[in-house]
Amino acid sequence: MSSPELDVVEFLLTASLYTENRDLDERDLPPRYRRVFWEDGEVERPLTTTTNTAAAATGVERPWEAVSGLMFTDRDDFSGKIEFTDRDMAEEWLLERIPDERLANNPTLVYAFEDRLEDVTYEEAREQNRPIHADRVWIDSLLEEMFDEDEEEMLDLVDVRAPEEIEMTLEDLVLTDDQEQEIHKVVKAIEHRDYLAEIGLREIGKLLFVGPPGTGKTSVARALAQDLDLPFVEVKLSMITSQYLGETAKNVDKTFEVAKRLSPCILFMDEFDFVAKTRSSDEHAAIKRAVNTLLKSIDEISLIQDDVLLIGATNHPDQLDAAAWRRFDEIVNFPKPDRDMRSDILRIVTRRMDVDDFDPDELAEATEGLTGSDLRLVLREAVLDALTENRTTLTQQDMLDAIEDFEERDNLKNMDMIEGDADALVAGGSDGHDHDD
């Protein structure tokens, strides 16, 4: 059960109880409330409940209108503050209406009323509440603290996402048995970090994802961050060479500093084959120093000591040298999906679609060699083609036609250029290098 008046009363009561109970901290506030009151790196008491803060925290556009008919509420017309005239009555009103499962998501309320609840404890409510380090407001305040105006270019190298900004979960993905097993081991290692430190097992928590483009390496890393409520710090190593990034080795150090300050978190390093290519090439000495700094930083960071799970990813494992391989304690293979996996991917991606005569097994047979990313593109085209005919219901034939169109476009991409175009390219000043976009 939910209603605008219930939403607003829960917010008002939570703010009142949190303000008066100094034993409570930010972890006891639901994230939607925490975000509203977060300022200068903390939530300061008292929590002021105005029409603006109530609207921002609850999503109710006119919060005072929602509760103005209740006997225990009042509003100051000048300041816009909404408060209780009789909090005891407000508590009884709320507890009669709020479901236990909803109450369990609000540690502040459970703290106040634990003795009146049967199936919810304060510790359980606090444990399942999203930690403050996973909030966007906390991440932003930390980044502002770490970087001054002269260092803002550093943020071009690092993309930091809060778990709430990652839409996919591991349940939205189709994994191989090996991938599921490795992820399960990582989750257990995170849960038992103290034990692993106690027995001296510290070389753990550095994974390398290998496989062709579109097989889910980045998606799995992001979904893992969402499921574990961890900030996701993504670095594309080729960005190290950007002319806008100044001192490259310094920026590598800063990247690892960001991860350690945001910990616990996941540090995802894409395009890891860049390391080996740089070490074996004639790249500028500054770039080579940056790569050596990177390898040293990988050696020194630890899931057990620093609460940072490091995941590297590469589409070209054949280009990695021994120095790159030995930095990782687990290698996770991401092959192209087999027939059964393709069928499962199609079932998941079409969950919210209306498809007549849907047969994912037939489509899986027709998509040999396609990746999960390819399958999503096929379905996108099927949907768009149907919309051009003013249809929101797809058919199996729409899917098959989209597969055929996709294969035709894929073949065109792989065709050799006709002789005239090739000559024109040379005449236009080709640099002689292959570019993989």
Kindly state whether residues 160 and 246 are assigned to the same domain.
yes
Domain's final residue, options 100, 129, 158: 129
Percent of the chain's residues with pLDDT above 90: 64
Same domain, 324 and 275: yes
Same domain, 221 and 370: no
Same domain, 206 and 303: yes
Question: Are residues 76 and 113 located together in one domain of the fold?
Answer: yes
Rounded Cα gap, residues 188 and 131, in angstroms: 19
The Cα 392–Cα 246 span in angstroms is: 50
* Alpha carbon distance 73, 89 (integer Å): 10
Residue 320 forms part of a structural domain: yes
Same domain for 270 and 392, yes or no, is no
Residue 437 lies in a domain: no
**Choice among 213-217, 244-248, 398-402 with the minimum mean pLDDT:** 244-248
Is residue 395 predicted with pLDDT exceeding 80? yes
pLDDT at site 431: 40
> Packing angle between helix 285-300 and helix 248-262, nearest 10 degrees?
20
Q: Is residue 421 part of a domain?
A: no
Cβ neighbours of 397 (radius 10 Å): 11
* CA-based nearest residue to 118, from 136, 102, 100: 100
The answer to whether position 162 is within a domain reads yes
Residue of 118, 82, 85, 116 lying closest to 7 (CA atoms): 82
Tell me, yes or no, whether 430 lies in a domain: no
Between 73 and 420, the more confident residue is: 73
- The CATH number assigned to the domain holding 377 equals 1.10.8.60
Largest CA distance in the chain: 85
Give a yes or no: residue 36 inside a domain.
yes
Would you place residue 202 in the very low, low, confident or very high pLDDT band (cuts 50, 70, 90)? confident
Chain segment 343-356, per-residue pLDDT in tens = 999 999 999 999 99
Domain holding 60, by residue range, is 4-129
Q: Find residue 235's DSSP bridge partners.
A: 158, 269
Give the residue from 251, 283, 307 showing the smallest Cα distance to 134.
Answer: 307
Residue pLDDT, tens place only, 77-99: 999 999 999 999 999 999 999 99
Q: Which residue carries 């109970």 as its tokens?
A: 21
- In this structure, the answer to whether residues 307 and 364 fall within a common structural domain is no
Q: Are residues 14 and 76 in the same domain?
A: yes
Q: Specify whether 143 is located in the same domain as 121.
A: no
CATH number at residue 258: 3.40.50.300
Give how many domains the chain has, as a whole number: 3
Among 13, 36, 205, 178, residue whose Cα is nearest residue 108: 13
Q: Which of 105-119, 286-300, 317-331 has the highest mean pLDDT?
A: 105-119
User: Are 394 and 297 in the same domain?
Assistant: no
User: Looking at the predicted structure, is the pLDDT value of residue 424 above 90?
Assistant: no
Final residue of a structural domain among 333, 366, 383: 333
Mark whether 265 and 225 lie in a shared domain: yes
**What does the alpha-carbon distance between residue 127 and residue 306 come to, in Å, rounded to a whole number?**
21
Which pTM value belongs to this model? 0.80
Domain boundary among 333, 359, 393: 333
Residue 431 lies in a domain: no
Residues 198, 56, single domain; the answer is no
> Does residue 380 belong to any structural domain of this protein?
yes
